Amino acid sequence: MKDRSLSRLFWFKFTRNRLAIGGAVVVLLLFFTALLAPFISPYDPSYIDVEHVLSPPSREHYLGTDQLGRDVLSRIIWGGRISLLVGFVAVGIATLIGVILGALAGYYGRLVDNLIMRFVDIMLCFPTFFLILAVIAFLEPSIWNIMVVIGLTSWMGVSRLVRAEFLSLKEREFVLAARAQGAGDMRIIFRHILANAMAPVFVSAILGVGGAILTESALSFLGIGVQPPTPSWGNILTAGKDNIEIAYWLSLYPGLAILLTVLGYNLLGEGLRDALDPKIEP
């Protein structure tokens, strides 16, 4: 009954936040658009039509074509798949690393905590985007390398968040009871404490997806991210930069797609954080 009342309270608080609902709608639309890309895309995103090079938006091409005659709408739809894949995989890697290190630091404390937190501080001293650029410079630009590098350079915030949750939970009564019953450290960490610390981690992951998508788009725009002919919002913008004076649609529409996607994930994450916070009254 208590779990049901808490879920009802969460749902009530979440549905009263119109911005959060708007963010959820945007995220769901992006997800289903990417999932159904083979069925709703009007053209093959790699199909070259030399008769319609840099054509403006029309009935035949709703968002125009690029410098090779490829349909911009189709490339944006398929580029959404790349964005979702990069976002979820990169955030998954970052969350996994951050949860493990943060849990160990918060539970054991002392020497383990000092070693892990000093390593976190060192990582935070480097500007994340420039660190990613430096790593990518030594690797072959590909979608898999991009996902791994973003994940390996984005876990510090999660680790500090998990550490703080563990410091506040490890002396609670349910942890002392589990320890008195002979439960081992790993069972206490992952079965008892982590289960009660996942709400802020989930919110952080939602917010991180938007950041990962933005980072991938920036790398692709610079030419060291997803490589053509694979469609990406970033490399569509690169074509827009080269033809900004005669083809505004190459910059406008993928830019709006990035803006709405990142905004949607941020609004959803903020709404979930408010709904899960017991201090905020409904």
Task: For 204-232, write each residue's pLDDT tens digit.
Answer: 889 889 888 888 888 888 888 778 788 88
Predicted pLDDT of residue 182: 75
Taking alpha carbons only, the member of 226, 257, 216 closest to residue 76 is 257
User: For 20-31, what is the mean pLDDT?
Assistant: 91
d(CA 275, CA 248): 40
User: For 231-255, what is the mean pLDDT?
Assistant: 85
DSSP 28-58: HHHHHHHHTHHHH-SS-TT---GGGTTPPS-
194 dihedral zone (left: phi>0; alpha: psi -120 to 50; beta): alpha
Task: Please check whether residue 282 lies inside any domain of the structure.
Answer: no
- Say what the pTM is: 0.86
d(CA 274, CA 271): 5
Residue 68 to residues 58, 73, 115, Cα–Cα distance (Å): 17, 14, 53
Task: Please check whether residue 52 lies inside any domain of the structure.
Answer: no
Residue-wise pLDDT tens digits, 157-215: 899 999 988 888 887 877 778 777 777 778 888 887 887 888 888 888 898 898 888 88
User: For 112-140, what is the mean pLDDT?
Assistant: 83
d(CA 151, CA 17): 30
Cα 175 from chain centroid (whole Å): 32
1-15, 22-36, 78-92, 117-131, range with the lowest pLDDT: 1-15
Task: Please check whether residue 242 lies inside any domain of the structure.
Answer: yes
Highest mean pLDDT among 87-96, 102-111, 217-226: 87-96
- Show the domain range for 216: 2-44+62-276
Task: Please check whether residue 37 lies inside any domain of the structure.
Answer: yes
CB–CB of 142/230 below 8 Å?
A: no
Task: Please check whether residue 250 lies inside any domain of the structure.
Answer: yes
Task: Please check whether residue 82 lies inside any domain of the structure.
Answer: yes
Residue 136 to residues 132, 151, 159, 161, Cα–Cα distance (Å): 6, 13, 24, 27
Average pLDDT, the chain: 84
Task: Please check whether residue 190 lies inside any domain of the structure.
Answer: yes
Residue 108 sits in a domain whose CATH number is 1.10.3720.10
Residue 21 to residues 128, 142, 156, 182, 231, Cα–Cα distance (Å): 30, 34, 29, 45, 29
Residue-wise pLDDT tens digits, 139-151: 777 788 888 888 8
21-25, 117-121, 198-202, range with the lowest pLDDT: 198-202
Does residue 93 have a pLDDT over 90? yes
Task: Count structural domains, the chain.
Answer: 1
Predicted pLDDT of residue 1: 46
Does residue 111 have a pLDDT over 80? yes
Does residue 89 have a pLDDT over 70? yes
Taking alpha carbons only, the member of 96, 72, 88, 74 closest to residue 31 is 88
Task: Please check whether residue 50 lies inside any domain of the structure.
Answer: no
